[in-house]
Amino acid sequence: MRAAVLREPRRPVEILEVELAPPRAREVLVKIAAGGVCASDLHVVDGTLPEPMPLVLGHEAAGVVVETGPGVTRVREGDHVVLAIVPSCGECAPCRRARPTFCAVFGAAAGAGTLGDGTSRLSLDGTILYHFNSVSSFAEYAVVPESAAVAIPRDVPLEAAALIGCAVLTGYGAVANIARVEAGASVAVWGCGGVGLSAIQGARLAGADPIVAVDVSPEKLELALSLGATALVNAAEVDAVEAVRAEAGGAGVDYAFEALGREGTIQQAWSSLASGGTAVVIGTMPKGDLLTIDPWGFIQEKNLLGCFLGRPRIEADVPRLVELYRAGELKLDEVVSHRLALGELELGLERLRAGTAARQVILFDP
């Protein structure tokens, strides 16, 4: 099958013919229909997110189950599924504490670039290829743990469903699961890509007001407006902190979400908070970089929170998000700014670097 292989950071992604072994116990083979191009893929390519290499990229996808390994109970052949990077064993200490996103078994596997049994199903001319966070979906097929696949109704377009696996779980979950934004709260979101736009939609669904979108792209700000933002701040033209605080009546916002992973915008989010406010850092700063913020905020009871994929319970949250989409309350089709073939992945990564795309989706042959 064809797959997007990265041999080492800062090298071009190669579309190669690779081998994929059949699913083992509690694994499934999925024919990929659509996969979103996420900043985390770009971070791996650019070397700021270290991963075992060579690997097959891609981690936000939807497709159809075509084969199940022994012992699979959650999904069956023919099921349409959303893939997510957080399979869980259900038995380790974090799983038992209801924190499946920190599953010890699959956390270790993700770090090692393998599936749950410590081995890879992917190879190239006899040489091991590593899995990217158990998913590796920039490929015609993927073998994933059954707990990384959530079945969805067959009438949901797989292109839209793909976005749920990372961007929507993350942005929506940052608002609903991590910050727990309440109706009437003021919100600002830095970065209007797939994740930031999902945070904006989460804030709209929570009844937040105002919802201030911050970006430097007029096109993405317009999109944010159509998805629920009530005020726009173009950080290339005005002082973002002053503008955000002004939109919230001068005192600052109750919640600030940073979806870019840059020190400067995290500092802006922190400085835009009202006393008692909460900033959630969703974006990923390069591993090893340090962050400086003004500690005076702590005596104002400001909170600084981390976020890993929006802390989902995917078997409950994916179906809930699909229902919101079917009800017209969660917009997904509008978030897709570009559709690509697998061979155009480099172009997609370049657009992501330039900040000129909301969410790009790679479509595979049906």
At what angle are helices 345-354 and 39-46 packed, to 10 degrees? 100
166 part of the active site:
yes
Residue closer to Zn ion by CB (options 25, 251) is 25
Among 13, 44, 72, 89, binds Zn ion (CB under 5 A): 89
Side-chain half-sphere exposure of 108, counting CA atoms within 13 A: 9
By the rule CB under 5 A, 103 interacts with Zn ion: yes
Closest CB 288 distance from Zn ion, rounded Å: 20
Residue with tokens 């012992």: 71
CA distance 304 to 316: 27
Residue closer to Zn ion by CB (options 241, 352) is 352
Q: Tell me the pairing of strands 211-215 and 187-190.
A: parallel
Question: DSSP states of 183-225 as a string?
Answer: TT--EEEE--SHHHHHHHHHHHHHT-SSEEEEES-HHHHHHHH
Question: For residues 157, 162, 164 and 166, what is the CA-based torsion angle, rounded to 10 degrees?
Answer: -170
Stretch that binds Zn ion, among 93-101, 150-158, 314-322, 342-350 (CB under 5 A): 93-101
Among 92, 143, 148, 212, binds Zn ion (CB under 5 A): 92
Among 95, 212, 282, 342, binds Zn ion (CB under 5 A): 95
Q: Is 86 helix (H, G, I), strand (E, B) or coil?
A: coil
131 part of the active site:
no
Closest CB 148 distance from Zn ion, rounded Å: 12
Q: What one-character DSSP code corresponds to residue 337?
A: E
Question: Residue 42 phi/psi, 5° resolution?
Answer: -65, -40
| Environment class of 90 (CB within 10 Å of its CB; exposed 0-12, middle 13-18, buried 19+) | exposed
Stretch that binds Zn ion, among 17-25, 97-105, 197-205, 267-275 (CB under 5 A): 97-105
38 part of the active site:
yes
End-to-end C-alpha distance for the chain, whole angstroms: 14
Q: Which residues ranging from 165 to 204 are in contact with Zn ion (CB under 5 A)?
A: 166
92 part of the active site:
no
Exactly one of 40, 88, 147, 186 is catalytic; name it.
40
By the rule CB under 5 A, 37 interacts with Zn ion: no
Task: Count the residues of the shown chain that bind Zn ion, applying the rule CB under 5 A.
Answer: 9
**Do residues 1 and 30 make contact, with C-beta atoms less than 8 angstroms apart?**
no
By the rule CB under 5 A, 217 interacts with Zn ion: no
Amino acid identity of residue 84, one-letter, is A
Closest CB 312 distance from Zn ion, rounded Å: 13
Among 23, 40, 84, 259, binds Zn ion (CB under 5 A): 40
**Do residues 83 and 143 make contact, with C-beta atoms less than 8 angstroms apart?**
no
By the rule CB under 5 A, 82 interacts with Zn ion: no
Stretch that binds Zn ion, among 105-113, 226-234, 329-337, 346-354 (CB under 5 A): 105-113
Closest CB 302 distance from Zn ion, rounded Å: 27
338 part of the active site:
no
Q: What is the total residue count of the chain?
A: 366
Exactly one of 89, 166, 192, 307 is catalytic; name it.
166
Closest CB 274 distance from Zn ion, rounded Å: 30
Closest CB 91 distance from Zn ion, rounded Å: 6
Q: Is 119 helix (H, G, I), strand (E, B) or coil?
A: coil
By the rule CB under 5 A, 335 interacts with Zn ion: no
Exactly one of 38, 92, 95, 192 is catalytic; name it.
38
CA distance 14 to 7: 8
Cite the active site residues: 38, 40, 43, 59, 166
Residues near Zn ion (CB under 5 A)? 38, 40, 88-89, 92, 95, 103, 105, 166
